[in-house]
Amino acid sequence: MKEGNNMRQQVRPIIALDFPDAATTRQFLAQFGQDSHLFVKVGMELFYAAGPDIVREITAAGHDVFLDLKLHDIPHTVEMGMRSIARLGVTMTTTHISGGSAMMQAARAGLDAGAGSKRPLLLGITQLTSTSEDQMHSEQHIPGSLQADVLHRAQLAQASGCDGVVCSAMEASAVLGATNPDFLRITPGIRPANAAANDQVRVVTPAQAGQLGSSGIVVGRPITQAADPVAAYAQIKRSWNGDTNDID
């Protein structure tokens, strides 16, 4: 087994359900059959359209939900927002690290206060996978390498009560080296070889993500817009888990 495989904590690729409404989401999920136990991400597009009801519906169907709303506000507002999120029974959620340590601590306190038996895991957003190092320099006025910035953010997130970060797989092994081994490295920006990058910049294949030390991958359009989403999911899952020599 490759070293990266030992680091993998989420065997299932997390499918980003970036759909405009509940009906489209239901049609998509129905293709996977009643007994499937998927790990899906509900983000802004679906949540702003279908609200907490769609999250409850998906969890009631037996799927794990990563509710990705990327909270970023003053600490009190984020704490109270996270209390509401925790009551939805989701598995993971997100806050922006750039809001600072007080905001992340408040996010964690909100999850602690709002959760029942199982607290949602808190992930900090480092640098979006759509951001290049050049953009970071010119638009954010952050000097140095993008990896160094991601490492700094990851360490701040860990010290502030986060359970992991969202970063690209390109930074995953460095984050692993700079944080506790169980600190999660959830990586979007996943594209099978030859697939369109779309708006993503820091992109790797599912197999590379496994080798680079990701602990979970997030995949949207390569599955949701595939001619056969169930087959695309199965192929990406095999590649991610190192179960195939197929070109991914």
Which residues are catalytic, by number? 68, 70, 73
Residue 73 or 113: the one with the smaller Cβ distance to ligand OMP is: 73
- The contact pattern for ligand OMP, residues 40-79, with x = CB under 6 A and - = no contact, is -x-x------------------------x-----------
Do 171 and 128 touch, CB atoms closer than 8 A? Answer: no
- Give the residue, chosen from 91, 179, 200, 205, that forms a contact with ligand OMP under the rule CB under 6 A: 200
Number of residues counted as binding ligand OMP (CB under 6 A): 19
Shortest distance, position 100 Cβ to ligand OMP, whole Å: 18
129 binds ligand OMP (CB under 6 A): yes
Residue 92 or 115: the one with the smaller Cβ distance to ligand OMP is: 92
Do 64 and 91 touch, CB atoms closer than 8 A? Answer: yes
* Cα angle: 222, vertex 228, 233; to 5 degrees: 50
* H/E run at residue 113: helix 101-114
Q: What is the Rg, in whole angstroms, of the alpha carbon atoms belonging to the chain?
A: 17
Flag whether 68 is marked binding: yes
81 binds ligand OMP (CB under 6 A): no
For residue 186, what are the β-bridge partners? 166, 216
Flag whether 76 is marked binding: yes
Q: Which three-class secondary structure state does DSSP give residue 4?
A: helix
- Give the residue, chosen from 90, 107, 125, 172, that forms a contact with ligand OMP under the rule CB under 6 A: 125
**83 vs 247: CA distance, rounded Å:** 43
**66 vs 88: CA distance, rounded Å:** 11
**203 vs 180: CA distance, rounded Å:** 25
85 binds ligand OMP (CB under 6 A): no
CB atoms within 10 A of CB 182: 9
Flag whether 26 is marked binding: no
Flag whether 77 is marked binding: yes
**106 vs 153: CA distance, rounded Å:** 17
Shortest distance, position 125 Cβ to ligand OMP, whole Å: 6
Shortest distance, position 52 Cβ to ligand OMP, whole Å: 18
Dihedral over alpha carbons 36, 40, 44, 48 (to 10 degrees): 30
- The contact pattern for ligand OMP, residues 3-22, with x = CB under 6 A and - = no contact, is -------------x-x----
What the block records as the tokens of 105 is 């601590």
- The contact pattern for ligand OMP, residues 155-184, with x = CB under 6 A and - = no contact, is -----------x------------------
Measured CA to CA in angstroms, residue 195 lies from 83, 203, 247 at distances of: 38, 10, 12
Residues annotated in a binding site for substrate: 18, 41, 68-77, 129, 191, 200, 220-221
Name the site residues for ligand OMP (rule: CB under 6 A): 16, 18, 41, 43, 68, 94, 125, 128-129, 166, 188-189, 198, 200, 218-222
